[in-house]
Amino acid sequence: MDLELRHLRIVRAVAEAGSVTKAATHLGLAQPALTAQLKRIERGLGGALFRRDHTGARPTPLGELVLARAKVLLPAARELQEEAVRFANAGGTAPSYRLGATNGPVLGGLVDRLATEWPSTPVSTCTSWSARELATMVTLGRLDFAVVGTCGESPPPLEGPVMWRTIGLDPVFVLLGENHPLAGRAEVELSELADERWAVAPGDGCFGDCFAAACARAGFTPLTIYETDVATCLHLASVGRAAVLCQATFQPTPGLTAVPLAGAPLRWRHILGWHPEAAPARVADSVAEYAKAAHADAVRRNTCYASWLSRNPRFGTIP
């Protein structure tokens, strides 16, 4: 039997789980099937890899040797695969920049600046509600840069090979219909919205948990939360069916008003990610500055946020 990477993954899974039964569950295999595979691996390697009894499975000296090699070989194989995908997705030697973004104020201005500064370099875009999906695409070389958001000071959606730089830190405002009793206020306490229903666009970070925690600190549990697309959120707010949590840079449409929350209990951080070993990394500093300029433009366009920012200077575009 020739040793394959999948065999090393099986050995690693048994060692990490501490038993063949638990490893089978983790791998999605039947326990007898995994036991049979493990026996074939042991025959191929010349001896038992684990001592198995009623307490579980513990590596033998031969097992320790194989596990030590697996710790080197499995990450190396994964890195090779990722590097090969990045190379295959490079699409030739002519420069081009592929941008990904979640819903936010930066992407449009960034595309405009790249097209202005480097008119001969094609720029393509894709969007997703999932910051983790976009970060994975950067890792695999399917995107050159990703502009995503994270809640407050929470970590990036995917660390490791992706480099991240903060573009801006914004408070979260609440979007209300123009006839709402609180619509004309300079700011509102979150507790004043305890009787509201809420609407929010989907995401895969911790924002929902942070919102629930902020509501608990304000003394209430939020009523119905509609997770839906942006257009539906705006409609529900305009007809008075929900309050909508929005980024402070959001430009309200007619019939809607953005109101700051007192004390900024919820915050949104815009970050730019890229792979440090990919060719576009050489222009990452420039792209980051263009992204910051796009964010600063979005702040200036929103008079409510610009006014609030003059009283809260620790927010806004990162210098």
pLDDT of residue 93: 46
259 with 227, same domain: the answer is yes
171 with 33, same domain: the answer is no
247 with 206, same domain: the answer is yes
Distance CA 129, CA 245 (A): 15
128 with 195, same domain: the answer is yes
Q: Of the residues 64, 88, 112, which one is the last residue of a structural domain?
A: 88
pLDDT of residue 87: 60
pLDDT of residue 83: 63
Task: List pLDDT tens digits, range 124-155.
Answer: 999 999 999 999 999 988 899 999 999 988 88
159 with 264, same domain: the answer is yes
87 compared with 297, residue with greater pLDDT: 297
pLDDT of residue 94: 45
pLDDT of residue 5: 87
60 with 148, same domain: the answer is no
Q: Of the residues 67, 88, 109, which one is the last residue of a structural domain?
A: 88
Q: Of the residues 45, 61, 88, which one is the last residue of a structural domain?
A: 88
pLDDT of residue 92: 47
pLDDT of residue 157: 85
59, pLDDT greater than 50: yes
82 compared with 292, residue with greater pLDDT: 292
Q: What is the mean pLDDT of residues 199-214?
A: 89
119 compared with 83, residue with greater pLDDT: 119
Q: What is the mean pLDDT of residues 230-247?
A: 93
DSSP per-residue codes, 81-127? HHHHHHHHTT-SSS--EEEEE-SSSSHHHHHHHHHHH-TTS-EEEEE
- CATH number of domain containing 61: 1.10.10.10
10 with 55, same domain: the answer is yes
Task: List pLDDT tens digits, range 70-103.
Answer: 988 888 888 777 666 666 665 544 457 899 999 8
Q: What is the mean pLDDT of residues 2-26?
A: 89
Q: Which amino acid is at 112?
A: D
**Considering the chain, what percentage of its residues have pLDDT values greater than 90?**
59
Distance CA 47, CA 69 (A): 16
211-214, long-range: CB < 8 A, 24+ apart: 211/245, 211/266, 214/190, 214/265, 214/266
222, pLDDT greater than 70: yes
The domain total for the chain is: 2
Task: List pLDDT tens digits, range 268-289.
Answer: 999 999 999 888 899 999 999 9
198 with 305, same domain: the answer is yes
133 with 151, same domain: the answer is yes
176 with 221, same domain: the answer is yes
266 with 137, same domain: the answer is yes
Q: Are 139 and 213 in contact (CB under 8 A)?
A: no
Give residue 20's domain range: 5-88
- CATH number of domain containing 208: 3.40.190.290
Mean residue pLDDT of the chain comes to: 89
74 with 98, same domain: the answer is no
pLDDT of residue 204: 84
